[in-house]
Amino acid sequence: MSLKQTGYTSITNDLAVTLSTGATPNISLYSDAAGTTLFVDSNGNSFSGKVVSNLNYTEPHNNEDQSQVENGFLLFSFTDGTTAKVTDKVDTVYYGIVAIAFKPRTFN
């Protein structure tokens, strides 16, 4: 699924559906619709099989001196401490989610 501004509700819905089954959603971000090339951010990081801890969207807004509009962006925070920023009108990103079954633990 494409991560364009109009598609952001899709990813939150897909994550919620996976969580509602009791599974952990592992997400991978791609730069192509076929899901063969991992998305690489401006720091050279790729994102494969990550667990999302937080997902935040910042709306487009004027910069501090009101001279230009800053593009909106979707910021992923992952449980391993890494982040991925997907900027509207700049990045073309697709995602895939794999549901990892939750393994109950027993304590003696």
Tens of pLDDT along 17-28?
A: 999 999 999 999
**Do residues 25 and 19 touch, judged by C-beta distance below 8 A?**
yes
The reported pTM is: 0.82
Residue-level pLDDT at 6: 57
Q: What is the largest CA-CA distance in the chain?
A: 63
Tens of pLDDT along 84-99?
A: 999 888 888 999 999 9
Residue-level pLDDT at 92: 86
Listed as ranges, residues in the chain with pLDDT below 70 are 1-7
Determine the Cα–Cα distance for residues 3 and 33; give it in Å rounded to an integer: 10
74-to-9, 68, 81, 83 alpha-carbon distances in Å: 11, 19, 16, 10
